[in-house]
Amino acid sequence: MDEKRIREIFLESSEIKRKFAEEFAGMILEVARRIVEKVKSGGKVILMGNGGSACDAQHIALELVGKFYKVRNPIPAICLNANGALLTEIGNDFGFENTFVRQIEAFATEKDVVVGISTSGKSQNVIRALERAKEIGALTIGFTGEIGKSMKKYCDYLFVVPSSDTPRIQETHITLGHVLAQIVEELMGG
């Protein structure tokens, strides 16, 4: 690794984000507006992911509940991967693929927004939860990479990062989460 390679990595990341923004800017704004509608109607944002995507889910939830830029009323958001005891109990008793769907059945309603983050688009626990959330009538949103397009049938909106490189996908996902949090915060006011 040398300085030239470091610059290349940063340029690669920024180019992927540029392409993503060009393709999805309109949908990002539409999704933010839909989230605000749901929250103003008594709903909440439910997020989930595995590994690095679990960290992104927690990060986005904290930006909504706490603050992004402004001190304001909290925006209700929960992260399904944040409770280790619950995850291990469900995984042990019902199988890992059901860690999120059981929680969706417990917590989600048609008033809610459910966000599933999977860089590969193949995470069965995320897919099962999105499928069940859609059946319940929640608004379903997916974040994935270019090989995860199969998530589309479970999502009302699917954000596909134009890359198959996990770090570059995750960098774009957290930027997307930040942009959504900023827009939602601005639209919620107060």
Q: How many structural domains is the chain composed of?
A: 1
Q: In this predicted structure, what is the pLDDT of residue 178?
A: 98
**C-alpha angle 127-174-24 in degrees, rounded to nearest 5:** 75
**What residue type is assigned to position 122 of the chain?**
K
Q: In this predicted structure, what is the pLDDT of residue 87?
A: 95
Question: d(Cα 188, Cα 39) in Å, to the nearest integer?
Answer: 9
Render 62-131 in DSSP notation, one character per residue. Answer: HHHHS-SSS--PPPPEEETTS-HHHHHHHHHHH-GGGTTHHHHHHH--TT-EEEEE-SSS--HHHHHHHH
Q: In this predicted structure, what is the pLDDT of residue 149?
A: 86
Q: In this predicted structure, what is the pLDDT of residue 1?
A: 86
First-last CA distance in the chain: 48
Question: CA–CA distance from 119 to each of 29, 31, 49, 143, 167 (Å)?
Answer: 22, 19, 9, 7, 9
Domain containing 20 — which CATH number? 3.40.50.10490
* pLDDT averages per 10-residue partition of the chain, 190 residues: 94 97 98 98 98 98 95 96 95 96 98 97 97 98 94 97 97 98 91
pTM confidence score: 0.96
Q: How many CB atoms lie within 10 A of CB 42?
A: 10
14: domain range? 3-188
Phi (first) and psi of residue 127, to 5 degrees: -60, -45
Question: d(Cα 173, Cα 57) in Å, to the nearest integer?
Answer: 10
